[in-house]
Amino acid sequence: MLNDKAALRSRLLAARAALSPEQRQDAARALAEHALTLLPEPLSAAAPPVVAGYVSVGAEPGTRALLDALRARGVRVLLPVLLPDNDLDWGSYQGQERLERAGRGLLEPDGDRLGPAAVCTAGLVLLPGLAVDRRGIRLGRAAAAATTGCSPGSTGRTGPQPGWRRCCTTPRCWARSRPRSTTARSTRR
């Protein structure tokens, strides 16, 4: 299985690298359009939503336009900061001009660090990935740092708290459960 995943990663990375600049731009636009539909409506100025995202690098579909669009809508955007032990801290996105180069070719926000538990304030967590299957299982680059910061709790590492559910098979990856709308009605009988 491990070799199958490594082979699949290699094929997906090669296909991504073969995309033209126009195809990458189209992918970034589609990503932004879809991600923006996941925000609650209407947005509250009194309690703005919090989204944990990431800054794309290399041949990944671009996220910078999405990050700017979220910020322009009043969303508080958190970005990961990779720690020396490969765990994640978080910082606030303050615009592209406030990103600084970090290890592994990453871009991270400058400014204050918010601590590993900051991600627990996010109502939406956007993760990088190479592919996602129909069950929602994400295939990443085999570096667990992208998901290990998602574990909710007082320290960001203690397991699920009320209102959180398992979001994938990664042992420490959780997502906040969205309450069902009281006005939505099912069309199934």
Mean pLDDT across 68-84: 92
Structural domain for 58, as ranges: 2-37+47-145
Is residue 185 in some structural domain? no
pTM: 0.72
Q: Give the pLDDT of residue 180.
A: 31
Confidence of residue 138 (pLDDT cuts 50, 70, 90): confident
Say if CB 153 and CB 120 are below 8 A apart: yes
Nearest-angstrom CA–CA distance, 73 and 60: 24
Which residue, 20, 25, 34, is CA-closest to 56? Answer: 25
126 pLDDT higher than 50? yes
Is residue 139 in some structural domain? yes
Specify whether the backbone of 163 is left (phi greater than 0), alpha (psi in -120 to 50) or beta. left
Say if CB 160 and CB 152 are below 8 A apart: yes
Is residue 125 in some structural domain? yes
Say if CB 38 and CB 28 are below 8 A apart: no
Q: Give the pLDDT of residue 86.
A: 81
Higher pLDDT, 146 or 131: 131
Q: Give the pLDDT of residue 57.
A: 86
Is residue 178 in some structural domain? no
Per-residue tokens: 1: 């299985």
Confidence of residue 78 (pLDDT cuts 50, 70, 90): very high
Q: Give the pLDDT of residue 186.
A: 30
β-strand partners of 91: 79
For residue 20, the domain's CATH number is 3.40.50.10420
Share of the chain above pLDDT 90, in %: 28
Specify whether the backbone of 47 is left (phi greater than 0), alpha (psi in -120 to 50) or beta. beta
Distances (CA, A) of 177 to 124, 152, 162: 10, 12, 9
Is residue 14 in some structural domain? yes
Q: How many domains does the chain have?
A: 1
Mean pLDDT across 120-135: 85
Segment 105-120, tens digit of pLDDT? 889 999 999 998 899 8
Is residue 184 in some structural domain? no
Segment 8-58, tens digit of pLDDT? 888 988 998 999 999 999 989 998 998 888 887 777 777 788 999 999 888
Is residue 172 in some structural domain? no
Q: Give the pLDDT of residue 90.
A: 95
173 pLDDT higher than 70? no
Is residue 181 in some structural domain? no
Nearest-angstrom CA–CA distance, 140 and 151: 17
